[in-house]
Structure 1
Amino acid sequence: MQDNKNSIDSKLKEVGTQCKKWVFDLKTKLLDRKIYQKHLENEHLLVSMDAAALSKYNFEKRKDLVAHALKHSDFYKDKYASLQSTTTNLKTEEDFAKLPILTREDLRENFGSITAADVRKKDCHKMSTSGSTGPAISVFHDKRFPMAPTQWRLLQWWGIRPYVNKAFIYRYPRPLFTKILNTLLWWPTKRIFLAGTEMDEEHMRKFVNAINKTRPLVLQGYTDVVYDFALFLLDQEIRIQAPKAVWVTSGPLTKQQRSIMQKAFCAPVYDQYGSTEVLYVAAECRQQNGLHILHDMVYVECVDEYNRPVPQNTSGKILLTDLNNYAFPLIRYDIGDYGQLLSGACACGMPLPLMDNVKGRQSAVIKTPSGTPLNVAYLTTLFDDFPEKIRAYQFLQEEDYSVRLCYIPFKDKKVDGLISKVIDEMVNETDAEIKISSKQVKSMTKVSGKVPMVICAIE
């Protein structure tokens, strides 16, 4: 009897999956054929080129973007006015590297003039940053280059079809109208949501029940709130129906966080780098040997404090050029993050270049009187070897340069010795220039809904 029931359940599941595929094909191939065709073109492009051909393709797209910006954006006309035409015509990579950096201040002060004059309003989608790392900025995304094909690509890397059930943990609740629209748009696929601002026990238990009922193959969300949900599951000793992949984005993913998430979800955790300004920059494949830069869509540079290129495997400031945003050109944009490009190729065989997991914001540093800071690449690794002891930590720096390490240990874990060891190491790193103390706390300090690694009172 049990074997018959299992056989029936298996057949019903197979029919349900096939139904979802039929509806997805109907929507994408007939009702929204342009998006589906773009997906096919993108994937054919990748399999048809090796790394050298892809680099050449990337450079040609940069040339086209710069020419477009010079013609249609008043901001770039002014910004590049003093450059020689041989530079703006981009004959070589050296020419591109001579183009001035685009800063966050440029975006804040010149939103209207950066926007391309030939773009139609219906082709623009405005998005704004949260303001957690400084005054908020806004950009337009170009709706003529839809994001869905990129999402399908990443899911394909992880062995997942785009029409499977999904669970999302985002920072803010979605309006009722959006929820209804999403339900209708994705039927018969089911999507369930949890808001980071509503992560009390009641809401999280409802989300657990929804996960076990709908059995999503993907759990997707912001790194910090997905991590908080993972901690809840472990604290409450709750097991959920394991997804096939956990997709985290919009925040640095530490080794400690990955370890905790994989323990809670019993699934691999994949890091995807993106931001409000450029949604999709790079992502891990199943090999997890770094993040594959989406080189057919974006160009990534790493430079030093003087904006000179740094060698591969060397940390630097990240500059982004969005090759598909013609509505609001972002060319050599200093996004404010800290990372490094990697040498070598991935065993998966894709021609896409690699970058390391982004360690955090350039501003996330502990300052010293001598001017030699402790940067975020160092701070995020302090507890990597002790994922089962420290569940969260943060640094608060006062105007007199003194620093307090605020931490939350896991239940019943003795960490006094570990904390003392870390503080001694930091004192040595700063040549004892600053006073460093510690305090066990119940919660981290948030800024605009996020928990910064460093909150500094020094201007």
Structure 2
Amino acid sequence: MKNSFSKAVFSFKTKFVDPKLEELNRRTAANLQTEDLSDLNLKKRKALVNHAFTHSEFYKRKYQKFDFSEAGVSNDDFLKLPPLTREELRENFSDIKTKNVSESDHRKASTSGSTGFPISVLHDRRHPETPIRWRILDWWGIEPWENQAFVYRYKRPFLKRLRNSLLWWPTKRIFLAAADLNEEKLNKFVRAFNRIKPTLLQGYVDVIFEFALYLLDNNIKIHPPKMVWVTSAPLFEEQRKLMEKAFGAPVCDQYGNTEILLIAAECPEQNGLHIMQDTVHIEFVDENNQLVPANTNGKILLTDLTNYAFPLIRYEIGDEGKYLDHSCTCGIPLPLMDNVRGRQSMNIQTPSGLRIRGEHLMAMFNEYMTAFKEIQLRQETDYSVCINYVPRIAHKEAKDAAQKMVQMLKKRSRSEIEIKCNKIEHIERKTTKTPLIVSYLG
């Protein structure tokens, strides 16, 4: 009965209070019925490039050597466009912004700076990510009017929480701030969780993992949601297993970032992440920005097909990943990519130039992750590495696991660098994220 009332209120709000969102949601759903999503994707890229070249001072300069025909940019032409770097984005914010978009049509968002200097972008309010979010939830049998729970790093301001409650009433949404957690806060959240029985639990990988460990270590049961949605960091498979055990629900890995919020996500088949090809274009390229074959790792270039206020075209985000050449048995007509395992900058370096990439470290360390609440590799200016860890199990067992990781990394680095491990009380955070690797090399 409660669900029926929530659905009715939600439908009324969407239809009469925000009819533009309802129309956008219908168009987004219709995109998956399109005969060829690749054609739709190219059509949107053509329109975006033309818009950026016409209305953005930055892209006028950047593309001034290109002679776009009346038919617009072809796929081959698009591949010749120089990528947008993070440095360019940071230094040309005002000029990237298009001149024909009103202030009310965009909002500013800034990265946490967990992998370097923070950068800012504008999100186009006319094309919110909400319909894509609802698409992903629908794959998992979750309706947007059902109760939901979130674990964030920091507590949201009171006015923002009040506005959110009023906006979603009578749907209930509960939030746990993971900073300065204590047993009282956790138990209060558990009681609220079991009272409202949310169908979705969502948060950063590390904070959801921390919550899962608390439940397991204290033998606490919660009402199982339909799905646990994690994002903003690479997901160790051992972490996934522990989360699914703690929550009694499958874990959905999603790829997104501050610049482009929803890029790809898993369906219940978990054969890889479905790329939102109708709203984002993703390329996997080599060091010369040439496309790499499927199943081959490459740096990621992103194009937001919906952001006309602040165009991001072939944006070199700093992540690495790869296309998958198989189709998913779920029948969703969206291409697949592998789970993103790390950033280009997320690697360990040796004096001889050897780079041990984050995805390789994740594969090496995966079986030991159950021994730790948190772990982080810190590389100093002299190339030495310290594996800082917060133990979950008995200290000796955790120390033994850390020592094994030290030996594995020594072997992988050809003993070029000094490696040690160190038990700590908690991982220091300067941002909302907790990167696996912190490097102080220049």
Q: Does residue 1:69 correspond to 2:55, yes or no?
A: no
Q: Report if the CA contact (8 A) 1:259-1:387 is conserved.
A: no
Deviates more, 1:66-75 or 1:193-202: 193-202
Q: Does residue 1:258 correspond to 2:244, yes or no?
A: no
Q: Report if the CA contact (8 A) 1:423-1:436 is conserved.
A: yes
SS of corresponding position for 1:452:
coil
Q: How far apart, CA to CA, are the structure 2 residues paired with 1:386 and 1:456?
A: 22
Q: Does residue 1:273 correspond to 2:259, yes or no?
A: no
Q: Does residue 1:36 correspond to 2:32, yes or no?
A: no
* Letter paired with 1:456: S
Q: Tell me, which stretches of 5 or more residues in structure 2 are unaligned?
A: none
Match of 1:359 among 322, 335, 341: 341
Which residue pairs with 1:428 in the alignment? 411
Q: How far apart, CA to CA, are the structure 1 residues paired with 2:371 and 2:207?
A: 19
Q: How far apart, CA to CA, are the structure 2 residues paired with 1:207 and 1:87?
A: 58
Deviates more, 1:125-134 or 1:303-312: 303-312
The 5 A counterparts of 1:159-238 are: 159-238=141-220
* Letter paired with 2:5: C
How does the TM-score come out when normalised to structure 2? 0.96
Q: How far apart, CA to CA, are the structure 2 residues paired with 1:403 and 1:84?
A: 50
Deviates more, 1:354-363 or 1:193-202: 193-202
* Letter paired with 2:427: M
Deviates more, 1:177-186 or 1:109-118: 177-186
SS of corresponding position for 1:167:
strand
* Letter paired with 1:203: K
* Letter paired with 1:197: A
Q: Report if the CA contact (8 A) 2:372-2:393 is conserved.
A: no
Match of 1:83 among 53, 63, 66: 66
Q: How far apart, CA to CA, are the structure 2 residues paired with 1:407 and 1:416?
A: 9
**Structure 1 pair 391–180 and aligned structure 2 pair: CA distance change class (3 A):** closer
Deviation at 1:374, TM superposition (A): 0.6
Deviation at 1:407, TM superposition (A): 2.4
Deviates more, 1:289-298 or 1:248-257: 248-257
Across the aligned residues of Structure 1 and Structure 2, the Cα RMSD in angstroms comes to: 1.7
Q: Tell me, which stretches of 5 or more residues in structure 1 are unaligned?
A: 1-14
Q: Does residue 1:385 correspond to 2:367, yes or no?
A: yes
Q: Report if the CA contact (8 A) 1:403-1:435 is conserved.
A: yes
Q: How far apart, CA to CA, are the structure 2 residues paired with 1:388 and 1:227?
A: 10
Which residue pairs with 2:37 in the alignment? 54
Q: How far apart, CA to CA, are the structure 1 residues paired with 2:64 and 2:346?
A: 34
Q: How far apart, CA to CA, are the structure 2 residues paired with 1:87 and 1:387?
A: 55
Match of 1:285 among 258, 261, 267: 267
* Letter paired with 2:3: T
The 5 A counterparts of 1:318-333 are: 318-333=300-315
Q: How far apart, CA to CA, are the structure 2 residues paired with 1:372 and 1:307?
A: 22
Percent of residue pairs identical = 49
Q: How far apart, CA to CA, are the structure 1 residues paired with 2:124 and 2:20?
A: 15
Which residue pairs with 1:5 in the alignment? none
Q: How far apart, CA to CA, are the structure 1 residues paired with 2:428 and 2:294?
A: 35
Q: How far apart, CA to CA, are the structure 2 residues paired with 1:257 and 1:87?
A: 52
The CA deviation string for residues 345-395 of structure 1, in whole angstroms up to 9 with x for no partner, is 100111101011111222111111111211111112223234433433221
Which residue pairs with 1:97 in the alignment? 79
* Letter paired with 2:431: S
Q: Report if the CA contact (8 A) 2:237-2:366 is conserved.
A: yes
Q: How far apart, CA to CA, are the structure 1 residues paired with 2:206 and 2:407?
A: 28
Q: How far apart, CA to CA, are the structure 2 residues paired with 1:428 and 1:224?
A: 28
Q: Report if the CA contact (8 A) 2:377-2:387 is conserved.
A: yes
The CA deviation string for residues 134-193 of structure 1, in whole angstroms up to 9 with x for no partner, is 111111111111222111111100011110000011222211111111111111110111
Q: How far apart, CA to CA, are the structure 2 residues paired with 1:397 and 1:21?
A: 51
Deviation at 1:267, TM superposition (A): 0.6
Deviation at 1:276, TM superposition (A): 0.6
The CA deviation string for residues 240-282 of structure 1, in whole angstroms up to 9 with x for no partner, is 1111111111222121221121111111110111111000100
* Letter paired with 1:451: T
The CA deviation string for residues 90-140 of structure 1, in whole angstroms up to 9 with x for no partner, is 22x221111011011111111110001000110011111111111111111
Which residue pairs with 1:246 in the alignment? 228
Q: Report if the CA contact (8 A) 1:164-1:216 is conserved.
A: yes
* Letter paired with 1:299: H
SS of corresponding position for 1:385:
helix
* Letter paired with 1:65: L
How does the TM-score come out when normalised to structure 1? 0.92
* Letter paired with 2:332: M
**Structure 1 pair 126–297 and aligned structure 2 pair: CA distance change class (3 A):** same
Which residue pairs with 1:3 in the alignment? none
Q: How far apart, CA to CA, are the structure 1 residues paired with 2:33 and 2:85?
A: 35
Deviates more, 1:447-456 or 1:235-244: 447-456
Q: Does residue 1:335 correspond to 2:317, yes or no?
A: yes
* Letter paired with 1:300: I
Which residue pairs with 1:24 in the alignment? 10
Q: Report if the CA contact (8 A) 1:87-1:95 is conserved.
A: no
* Letter paired with 2:292: V
Which residue pairs with 1:108 in the alignment? 90
Q: How far apart, CA to CA, are the structure 1 residues paired with 2:234 and 2:124?
A: 26
Which residue pairs with 1:157 in the alignment? 139
**Structure 1 pair 196–390 and aligned structure 2 pair: CA distance change class (3 A):** closer
The number of equivalent residue pairs is: 441
Deviates more, 1:22-31 or 1:399-408: 399-408
Q: Does residue 1:438 correspond to 2:421, yes or no?
A: yes
Deviates more, 1:260-269 or 1:275-284: 260-269
* Letter paired with 2:163: L
Deviation at 1:417, TM superposition (A): 4.8
